Amino acid sequence: MIVRISGVILAPKAHVRVALQKIYGIGDPRARKICASLELDPETKVETFDEKMAIALQDAVNKFEVEGDLRRRVSMSIKRLMDIKCYRGLRHKRGLPVRGQNTRTNARTRKGRRKQQQSSAA
């Protein structure tokens, strides 16, 4: 049976605990908490679920803010920081590390690939 929760199709061969982590906003601790609330073994495979269990799992996940709503809230928080022009907002706007990391070397993840150095033959 195909189980779809918050627009995400859970992998049928995966354990419930692992499959739930494919949903944005659910990590390992929250996945374990959901399994515990449903009195469900975290190692149960998703393919063994029946319709009733899939609906119960969907209801348990819907109690949390996940996927689109969470993504929207995070992006609005970042946009707010940029609008009020605080330091963190400026770092987001410039595409630099936000949490105090070095930028003299490293920081390539935020800054992107190196720009070609202009060779000044003097």
Report, in angstroms and rounded to the nearest whole number, the Rg of the chain calculated over CA atoms: 21
Compute the Cα dihedral for 108, 110, 116, 122 and give only its sign. Answer: negative
Give mean pLDDT, residues 36-48. Answer: 91
Chain segment 79-121, per-residue pLDDT in tens = 999 999 999 999 999 999 999 899 888 888 888 888 887 776 6
56 and 84 share one domain? no
50: CATH: 1.10.8.50
Q: What is the mean pLDDT of residues 41-48?
A: 91
Q: State whether 26 and 76 are in the same domain.
A: no
Task: Give the structural domain span for 18.
Answer: 3-64
Residue 79 · residue 85 · CB < 8 Å:
no
Domain count, the chain: 2
- For residue 111, give every residue at least 6 positions away whose Cβ sits within 8 Å of its Cβ, in sequence order, or none: 95, 96, 103
Per-residue pLDDT, 106:
87
Gap between the Cα atoms of 113 and 77, Å rounded: 27
- Extract the tokens encoding 24: 């944005």
Q: What is the pTM of this model?
A: 0.78
Is residue 43 within 8 A of residue 15, CB to CB? The reply is: yes
Same domain, 52 and 77: no
Per-residue pLDDT tens digits for 62-79: 999 998 899 999 999 999
